[in-house]
Structure 1
Amino acid sequence: MARVNPLVRVLVVDDDALVRAGLTMMLDGADGIAVVGEAADGDQVPAAADRHSPDVVLMDLRMPRVDGIAATRRLRARPRPPEVIVLTTFDTDENILHALRAGASGFLLKDTPPARIAEAVRQVAAGEPILSPRITRRLMDRVAVQAGAYARARAILAALSPREHDVVVAIGHGSNNAEIATALDMTLATVKTHVSHILTKLDLDNRTQIALLAHDAGLA
């Protein structure tokens, strides 16, 4: 009997009731996804996460009491946290960097096509980060000119073994685990072990932060 993949459980967080309703209706109709709850402000997110145990949280940035950056940081500090995709109309460089450094696994604009949002949810739930192409370009440009970022990143990466360093470079170029395994002649299990060790050694939350560090160090 074929194994049925479980649904990706999604929590929608936005202070606009119409946006929440639209996202819920759109995602509930998408293959492999179930919206399990909603929250209208960042201060409601911890209780909603406890109640609904989401795999992925779609997080607005600007909310009246607790913004999406603070809510993301609090979520990612919890044991076994859900993945977070920031979904916003505000794509300033500072917002993008703050969200990713807070632990978000993705950053999408609200004008992203519905099918792409649904695919992003599935991708992030599977452990692969996602950024809008426009944001990726801007992020790379911003990182490239940050004062002191290069030296700091190089010093941090010095703690890694040569093989872990190779994995960081591959992640920085956007490779997934299967692609890294092929390129570096490793098993998939070995790649996953290296990624886990890198996150622990460098005190990072997710692959997106590894990619940022690789860009800071000029490796991607």
Structure 2
Amino acid sequence: MTEASTESPIRVLVVEDQKLILKSQLKLFEGRQELEIVGTALSGEAALEEVPRCEPHVLLLDLGLPRMSGIDVTRHVKANWPQVEILIFTIFEEEDKVLEAVKAGASGYLLKGTPVDKIIEAIKEVRAGGSVIQPSLARRMLRHFRVSPEPVAPASPPSAPAPTPASSKPPEVDAGGPPTKPLSDREKEILQLIAKGVSNNEAAQVLSISKATIRTHLEHIYRKLEVTNRTEAVTEGIRKGIISV
């Protein structure tokens, strides 16, 4: 018997209050052998009823739920079923809430519209005990949770702080800033449209250029920002102050 045949699929419970979005998410996972969708819920309250019944490995949780929020669901699930990993689905404007959800026990977050392969990769990551955090939020978390930049080193007198060795980099040195290779005005324009959720086809229509040209510009953007997809490009663009949402 091969190793692949002995692996059990990851049991996933999907929580999303918008029926059309939920239907779209479920369609993405059709035929994916590495996952088993064991249940769905349209509210936080329903999710708490489904968790003990479905016994999921991972909870794919919408943060913007009515009444009982995704943060409250996260806190309750981790208090009662700590073995369940929680992966938040969110939008950029909810980043403060994402931080609260991570503090409550979530293992990470994904932006809505993330390609299915990335979603599955993230589910596998949190199931394996890892985390899925975007660079911008990771830096904020460092600032929030960090007690000392060098916790293993002896404390220095207040009047004579220990200098940072030239070969080491403190956790907060990277404060964003422009990319090494600046984006052109057109590339910034396209990245701003992408950040608003515009498709390649729609961006081409807005800018009166071809879809092939849009794809070429995106390739240049990815290379300059050192990312591999639209979500990472938008995240990095916001982090560096190139665009806003």
TM range (shorter): 0.5 to 0.7
Instruction: Check the 8 A contact 2:71/2:100 in 1, yes or no.
Output: yes
Q: How many residues align?
A: 150
The residue aligned with 1:20 is: 22
Deviations 1:57-110 (A, max 9, x none): 000011112110000110011144310000122443311210110100011100
**Which has a greater percent of helix?**
1
Instruction: Check the 8 A contact 1:96/1:139 in 2, yes or no.
Output: no
The answer to whether residue 11 in structure 2 is matched with residue 2 in structure 1 is no
The residue aligned with 1:139 is: 138
Instruction: Check the 8 A contact 1:39/1:48 in 2, yes or no.
Output: yes
Identity rate, percent: 32
What is the letter of the counterpart of residue 61 of structure 1?
Answer: L
**Cα–Cα, structure 1 residues 10 and 145, in superposed 2: closer, same or farther, change >3 Å?**
closer
* Distance apart, 1:120 and its partner CA: 0.8
The residue aligned with 2:115 is: 113
What is the letter of the counterpart of residue 37 of structure 1?
Answer: G
CA RMSD in angstroms, aligned pairs only: 2.3
Q: What is the alpha-carbon distance in structure 1 between the residues aligned to residue 46 and residue 132 of structure 2?
A: 25
* Distance apart, 1:143 and its partner CA: 4.1
SS in 1 for 2:113: coil
Deviations 1:121-155 (A, max 9, x none): 11111111112xxx322430x34655xx54xx249
What is the letter of the counterpart of residue 115 of structure 1?
Answer: D
The answer to whether residue 81 in structure 2 is matched with residue 82 in structure 1 is no
The answer to whether residue 53 in structure 2 is matched with residue 54 in structure 1 is no
Q: What is the alpha-carbon distance in structure 2 between the residues aligned to residue 144 and residue 107 of structure 1?
A: 16
TM-score by length of 1: 0.62
Instruction: Check the 8 A contact 1:56/1:125 in 2, yes or no.
Output: yes
SS in 2 for 1:124: helix
Deviations 1:143-168 (A, max 9, x none): 4655xx54xx249x67xxxxxxxxxx
Q: What is the alpha-carbon distance in structure 1 between the residues aligned to residue 78 and residue 115 of structure 2?
A: 27
Instruction: Check the 8 A contact 1:46/1:75 in 2, yes or no.
Output: yes
The residue aligned with 2:43 is: 41
Q: Which has the higher contact order (CA 8 A, sep 6+)?
A: 1
Instruction: Check the 8 A contact 1:28/1:34 in 2, yes or no.
Output: no
What is the letter of the counterpart of residue 29 of structure 2?
Answer: L
Instruction: Check the 8 A contact 1:97/1:139 in 2, yes or no.
Output: no
The residue aligned with 1:185 is: none
Instruction: Check the 8 A contact 1:10/1:33 in 2, yes or no.
Output: yes
SS in 2 for 1:130: coil
Q: What is the alpha-carbon distance in structure 2 between the residues aligned to residue 9 and residue 94 of structure 1?
A: 28
